[in-house]
Amino acid sequence: MSVYFGYAASLFRRGVGVRARVTKLSRPLFLRRPTGVALFGPLILGLDAFALINVVPLTWTHWREAPEDSSDAEAPAVRPPLRPWWQRACACAIQFTAGAFVAGSVLIYRGRMLTLVSLLPPKNPAVASTASNRRIFVQTAGNWRSNGTIFPLSACTLTRVEEKAMFLQVKGEYAGWQLNLDDSIIDGKPVDSVEQACKTLAAHWHAAGGKGTIKAS
């Protein structure tokens, strides 16, 4: 649960990132279409909300005691009473918590799966291009259209954590963001292999002054 509280707190904590809408970009350093949960997240959230809206009221208004066995076959059927309010309240709370857990997990996953990373031009063209003069623009599966976040390159560290994945950490920001290298487009070109994607991305990243350990698996 600490992970959820950490992400929730990060929404209200001012970090080094700046929300931005960038409509004109040069060739992105990294580009990848979302897949799986990142792609179908809105559908999952919609189904989750639909289930909560219907199941919780149904439980509260229709969850009744088990019917009593009657030895008289001709006796009229008696509708059993509703279960005590505290039982129905507990059941509704469990259902709501489960739905909130699913929604939170999907939102966190989409918000931490990168779909675009672009090196922005130097803030001051008259100054040498270094990490302190460069910024990156990133988008996640949770961003719409041209919306994203700008970070100073000097605060960013890119590390290869798995054969097909890298992890972007930003100083002052909670946790980090994942880049999946398979089926990605690096520097505007589809790559033939994960290793080629890693080498090309590392060359551009380090050339711009970016920090991190990007090496072959």
Same domain assignment for residues 21 and 53 = no
Same domain assignment for residues 21 and 58 = no
Same domain assignment for residues 41 and 148 = no
Q: What pLDDT is attached to residue 129?
A: 64
Q: Regarding beta strands 18-21 and 30-31, do their DSSP bridges make them parallel or antiparallel, or are they unpaired?
A: unpaired
CA quadruple 83, 89, 93, 99: dihedral, nearest 10: 60
List Cβ neighbours of 94 (8 Å cut-off, separation of 6 or more): none
Same domain assignment for residues 108 and 178 = no
Two structure tokens written together for 71:
């030895």
Same domain assignment for residues 94 and 133 = no
Per-residue model confidence as pLDDT tens digits over 78-108: 788 999 999 999 999 999 999 999 999 999 9
Same domain assignment for residues 196 and 168 = yes
104 vs 71: CA distance, rounded Å? 50
Q: Name the pTM for this structure.
A: 0.85
- Mean pLDDT rounded to a whole number for the chain: 88
Note whether residue 73 is domain-resident: no
Least confidently predicted of 35-39, 79-83, 130-134, 166-170: 130-134
Cβ 117 vs Cβ 179: under 8 Å: yes
pLDDT band of 126, cuts 50, 70, 90 = low
CATH number for the domain that contains residue 144:
2.30.29
Domain span at 166 = 2-34+114-207
Q: Is the pLDDT of residue 117 over 90?
A: yes
Q: DSSP state, 211?
A: B
Looking at the structure of the chain, the number of domains it has is 2
More confident residue, 74 or 197: 197
Q: Is the pLDDT of residue 194 over 60?
A: yes
Across 12-34, average pLDDT: 86
172 vs 179: CA distance, rounded Å? 19
pLDDT band of 11, cuts 50, 70, 90 = low
Residue 159 region, left (φ>0) first, then alpha (ψ -120 to 50), else beta?
A: beta
In DSSP notation, 65-90 reads PPPPP-S-TTSPP-PPPBPPHHHHHH
Same domain assignment for residues 53 and 137 = no
Same domain assignment for residues 104 and 197 = no
